[in-house]
């Protein structure tokens, strides 16, 4: 995973030196973030949290096809949810209220195709991998001050590789609207689930707005 992260950074640096006049795209919005639990003997289980994301990407036009570009970027995200603790991985008493929080960094490297529908508007489609590095994932119950660190506790892995993309539109040359969907390629289950048939898969859906400089 460290080698993959390094490769993404090197690729981004190479693209930056290739095109000094690349467009900077700043965007952010709301997201639904999920850790789906899969087990051979039971139905899939999921419980999404909601939150926000914000960051920027660089649009590097490729010379061999009009409208085709590469979009490396970096985005911070934060999600949370408070509900009754019927989560099977939370070491909390059932029927007590629990608050789960997670934050991290998303580093996408997307291939993008943009089609101009008028002189100042266009539609686009992006697709590619996203490296995820989670900063923290915690749960706190309402009956105790104890906070469970899910990475330290062995519930989840901190890093993941997602695959997905987004579709959207650029209005008046600068204003951007988009919808994103990404799904995890790796098993996010931590050491607590070693040698079991339990797997966790990350997924997220985001709705955003942005500005192209």
The pLDDT assigned to 15 comes to: 47
Give this prediction's pTM: 0.83
Q: What is the DSSP string of the chain?
A: -HHHHHHHHHHHHHHHHH-TTPEEEEEEEEEEEEEEEEETTEEEE---EEEEEEEEEEEEE-TTSTTEEEEEEEEEEEEEEEEE---TTS-S-TTSEEEEEEEEEEEEEEEEEEEESSSS-EEEEEEEEEEEEEEEEEEEETT-S-EEETTTTTSB-SEEEEEEEEEEEEETTTEEEEEEEEEE-S--B-GGGTTSSEEEEEEEEEEEEEEE-
Range of the domain at 74: 2-212
Mean pLDDT of the residues in the chain? 85
- Judged by average pLDDT, the poorest of 6-15, 43-52, 88-97, 129-138 is 6-15
Task: Count how many domains the chain has.
Answer: 1
Query: Which CATH number fits the domain that encloses residue 81?
Result: 2.40.160.20
User: Residue 180 has what pLDDT?
Assistant: 97
- Least confident interval from 52-56, 64-68, 94-98: 94-98
Dihedral angle over CA of 17, 23, 24, 25, nearest 10? -140
Q: Output the furthest CA–CA distance in the chain (Å, rounded).
A: 61
Lowest mean pLDDT among 31-35, 47-51, 108-112: 47-51
Per-residue pLDDT band at 81 (split at 50, 70, 90): confident
Alpha helices for the chain (secondary structure H): 2-18
For 146-193, the pLDDT digits (tens) are: 788 999 989 899 999 999 999 999 999 899 999 999 999 999 999 988
């Amino acid at each position: 995973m460290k080698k993959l992260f390094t490769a993404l950074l090197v690729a981004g640096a190479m693209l930056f030196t290739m095109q000094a006049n690349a467009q900077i795209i700043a965007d952010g919005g709301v997201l639904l973030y999920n850790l789906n639990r899969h087990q051979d003997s039971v139905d899939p289980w999921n419980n999404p949290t909601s939150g926000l994301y914000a960051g920027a990407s660089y649009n590097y036009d490729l010379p061999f096809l009009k409208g085709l570009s590469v979009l490396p970027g970096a985005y911070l995200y934060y999600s949370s949810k408070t509900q009754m603790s019927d989560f099977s991985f939370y070491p909390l008493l059932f029927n007590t209220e629990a608050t789960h929080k997670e934050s991290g960094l998303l580093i996408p490297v997307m291939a993008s195709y943009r089609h101009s529908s008028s002189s100042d508007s266009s539609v686009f489609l992006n697709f590619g991998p996203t490296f995820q590095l989670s900063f923290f994932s915690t749960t706190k119950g309402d009956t105790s001050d104890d906070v469970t660190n899910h990475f330290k506790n062995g519930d989840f892995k901190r890093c993941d590789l997602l695959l997905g993309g987004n579709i959207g539109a650029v209005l008046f040359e600068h204003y951007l609207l988009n919808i994103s969907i990404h799904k995890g390629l790796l098993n996010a289950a931590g050491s607590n689930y070693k040698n079991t048939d339990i797997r966790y898969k990350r997924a997220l859906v985001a709705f955003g707005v942005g500005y192209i400089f």
